[in-house]
A and B are shown apart, each in its own frame.
Chain A
Amino acid sequence: GAGVSQSPRYKVAKRGQDVALRCDPISGHVSLFWYQQALGQGPEFLTYFQNEAQLDKSGLPSDRFFAERPEGSVSTLKIQRTQQEDSAVYLCASTGQRDLYEQYFGPGTRLTVT
């Protein structure tokens, strides 16, 4: 079956531009997570959705970061006025109801801000 997909896989943005990163979770998965992975580091939690509800956004680094999941399936992470420190790989993960603790990760979007 299809796994978690993310697009684009690579994104280059000039400083100050807005970007939108898309995540397609596994069909039927209720929970969706976004993580940020800086070079040489482990992923860090950004935000979490259960269906369309954003239940935890404590990891979003600034108000330039915004995430949505309006119909409880596809999610978009938007970064406004990108800064160089936003350069990272953005990972999306989803979990099903059968095992809430098994997260399935997408391949990530590598964002480079120049």
Chain B
Amino acid sequence: AQSVTQLGSHVSVSEGALVLLRCNYSSSVPPYLFWYVQYPNQGLQLLLKYTTGATLVKGINGFEAEFKKSETSFHLTKPSAHMSDAAEYFCAVTTTGTASKLTFGTGTRLQVTL
């Protein structure tokens, strides 16, 4: 079985500041890891994913994440926050043996202030 922990249900940053959203996972087999963004009253949009290969993954809207096996982490970062980044962010995990069904964390709400 796998699980995801997102530290911090709410994160507030100033516009232009670094965004860091934390995600730690638990999996007994090599994980596939994802970050999704959810805007109000909308579905989930994939930001980026790690399956195999390079551990630093770049996604849409300037976001990136690094898979660190030794730390069981997949933190999401963006060098400079924009007002439009305000949303709910979900980290998720799956493995090859689970038919790609996703296990999600509880989410982190990102607030961007002027």
Residues on A with C-beta less than 8 A from B94 are 101
**8 Å CB interface, B28-46 against A:** 32, 34, 36, 41-46
Interface size bracket, B side: 20 to 34
Interchain CB contact under 8 A, B106 and A105: no
Bound complex: CA of A45 vs CA of B27, how far in Å?
Answer: 17
Distance to closest chain B CB from A67 (angstroms): 13
Interchain CB contact under 8 A, B49 and A101: yes
Give the contacting residue for A43; candidates B49, B51, B100, B104; CB below 8 A: B104
Residues on B with C-beta less than 8 A from A25 are none
Residues on A with C-beta less than 8 A from B4 are 42
Distance to closest chain A CB from B31 (angstroms): 11
The chain A residues found within 8 Å of chain B, CB to CB, are: 4, 31, 33, 35, 40-45, 48, 50, 55-56, 59, 91, 93, 95, 100-108
The chain B residues found within 8 Å of chain A, CB to CB, are: 4, 32, 34, 36, 41-46, 49, 51, 90, 92, 94, 99-107
